[in-house]
Amino acid sequence: MPSSPHMSRREFVAIVTAAAGTVMGALIGIPAIGYLITPALQKVAADVWIPVGPTANYPVGTPTLFNFNRTKVNGWEKTVNSYGVFVIQHEDGSFLALSNKCTHLSCRVNWKTDSSAYICPCHDAYFDINGQIIKGPQPRPLDAYETKIEADILYIHFVGS
């Protein structure tokens, strides 16, 4: 074959084959990989402000329990989890929202007015009105939610999954 400045037929076929193969590989590969990794790309974490009612619902100095449910979706399964939060209005008008989940083994604590403490029924963990440890096996104070007030409605910042 005489030498030519242009690419040979053989080179041209090789390039076209490689290009067509790449396109076909991508057409098959991208859907296949996307299909397999979808669950890893879906957002499951929640970051929401949950309204817990008018501020007037919460008397000064008395922890008041508010219950709410959150639905968690895994694939096609929905799980409803219930949460409890003790809301305390301080005398200066500030609010404190404490999770009622004991930091020991996640039992639900109750506010006992006569002891002035949240008491866990499982292992006698005692927390004071602001959630600090009085006595018991718990490793840390009760978890607090961030709060904000908009138009006289109290909101708590729920971050979780």
Partner 1 sequence: MFQKTFDWLDERLGLKTIYATVLDRKVPKVNWWFTLGSASLFLFLLQGITGIMLTIYYVPSPDHAYDSIQYIMTSVSYGWLIRGIHHWGASLMVLIVFFHMLRTFYFGAYKYPREFTWVTGVFLLLLTLGMGFTGYLLPWNQRAYWATTVATSIAGTVPFIGNFINQVLRGGVDLSAVTLARFFSVHIWWFPAMIAGLIGVHLYMVIRLGISSVPKEED
Residues forming contacts to partner 1 in the complex (CB under 8 A) are 31-32, 34-36, 38-39, 41-42, 75-77
Q: Are strands 77-89 and 133-135 parallel, antiparallel or unpaired?
A: unpaired
To the nearest 10°, report the CA torsion of 106, 108, 113, 115: -40
Tell me how far, at minimum, the Cβ of 161 lies from partner 1, in Å. 17
Q: Which two tokens stand for residue 29?
A: 């590969």
Tell me how far, at minimum, the Cβ of 2 lies from partner 1, in Å. 27
Q: Residue 34 or residue 51: which is nearer to partner 1 going by CB?
A: 34
Tell me how far, at minimum, the Cβ of 27 lies from partner 1, in Å. 10
Q: Residue 11 or residue 146: which is nearer to partner 1 going by CB?
A: 11
Q: Residue 35 or residue 56: which is nearer to partner 1 going by CB?
A: 35
CA nearest to 17, candidates 6, 29, 9? 9
CA nearest to 118, candidates 69, 156, 155, 85? 85
Tell me how far, at minimum, the Cβ of 56 lies from partner 1, in Å. 42
Q: Residue 6 or residue 43: which is nearer to partner 1 going by CB?
A: 43
Say if residues 100 and 86 touch (Cβ distance below 8 Å): yes
